[in-house]
Amino acid sequence: MTTTEATPQVSAEELIKTTPLLQEIVRQLRAHDPYGTFRNWSDELILKPYVVTREQKKKISVDGEVDVITKSRIITFYRAIASLIEQETGLLSQVVIDLSHEGFGWVLVFSGRLLLVSKTLRDAQRFGFDSLEKLVAEGEKIAKSGIELGKKHGDVAQL
Amino acid sequence: MTTTEATPQVSAEELIKTTPLLQEIVRQLRAHDPYGTFRNWSDELILKPYVVTREQKKKISVDGEVDVITKSRIITFYRAIASLIEQETGLLSQVVIDLSHEGFGWVLVFSGRLLLVSKTLRDAQRFGFDSLEKLVAEGEKIAKSGIELGKKHGDVAQL
């Protein structure tokens, strides 16, 4: 038996309000807003560029270099993850990104000598998620794994 | 009592021949030589850009972005160190570099979840050493520390 009734969905506004990861991304973006561009923007609007549909991705060329704004969007995503890890483990970390001109590369989150997050990137020009829900699922998964590593190998993270 | 006789010094040629780190840098540079520029160059000539005297450094502006050649010279230095670490520990590693437009940043050598080398860079436009001997001393020191870490925390490097 199928039902036509939609499953009750949380509004984007509600999701953002209740999700620490999204809150942290917004906080970081607002903190690095030298010209006050975001001052009158809603959180939802600020987060909008993180949602890139499959159709939109197809239209983004991967031939050129990754532009500064996309790169900083990637870094902010991982900085927010680093912040979640810090809240759980107390470990302060650095985010480093190394992209070739073809959008391939690495993003690393590390504390001391421990890599809490280690990800290869490809087609970074197309960085984005199908939806905010997908962003949260992916980001929380990465954070969870980093938290476990940080707890298990705290000695290496303190080096 | 002072003597005017100079202490017997090794020639650059001899030093290069007998130093695994320098051999490895040369090997890597020759391996990435798409136009055969280095084919008729001596090892000493190929290594020459690594020697940048204090006077020369002063003349290099740190205002602009780090140029591609300097960046690749830095990466090659650390790749050679990574190779020394691999020979001693068996750990394969990646080299990642993240430089801001002002020549500040990080260079990391990692294996699994272990950072074998973690260095901040500043004024990377001026990357270089007073002499080949200084390069060897510095490079071998970094490699030694990486080898010790790799041996001590092999479990994290295998993650």
Distance from CA of A105 to the nearest CA of B (A): 9
Whether A12 shows a pLDDT value over 90: the answer reads: no
DSSP 8-state class, residue A4: -
Residue B109, beta-bridge partner list: B95, B117
pLDDT band at A85 (very low <50, low <70, confident <90, very high): very high
pLDDT at B6: 54
Q: Looking at the partner chain, which of A98, A113, A114 has a beta carbon nearest the beta carbon of B97?
A: A98
Residue A6 in domain: no
For A46-65, the pLDDT digits (tens) are 999 999 999 999 999 888 88
- CATH number of the structural domain spanning residue B111: 1.10.3100.20
> For residue A112, what is the nearest residue in chain B, using CA coordinates?
B115
Tally of domains within chain B: 1
C-alpha of A81 from chain center: 7
B7 domain-assigned: no
**B107 to chain A: nearest residue by CA?**
A96
Torsion angles phi and psi, residue B56, rounded to 5: -65, -40
Find, among B126, B120, B138, the residue nearest to B53 by Cα.
B126
Domain with A68, as residue range(s), is 12-157
Could you tell me if residue B3 is inside a domain?
no
Distance CA A117, CA A108 (A): 6
Selected residues 5-34 of chain B with any CB under 8 Å from a CB in chain A: none
Question: Residue B85 domain-assigned?
Answer: yes
User: Contact at 8 Å (CB) between B82 and B95?
Assistant: yes
The token duo for B26 is 């040369």
Q: Tell me the pTM.
A: 0.85
In a domain, A4, yes or no: no
User: Could you tell me if A38 and A29 are in contact, meaning their C-beta atoms sit under 8 angstroms apart?
Assistant: yes
Domain membership of residue A90 (yes or no) is yes
* Whether the complex's predicted ipTM surpasses the cut of 0.90: no
Of A38, A41, A39, A47, nearest to A19 by C-alpha is A47
Q: Is A5 domain-assigned? A: no
Q: Among B95, B98, B71, B100, which residue's Cα sits nearest to residue B85? A: B95
In a domain, A117, yes or no: yes
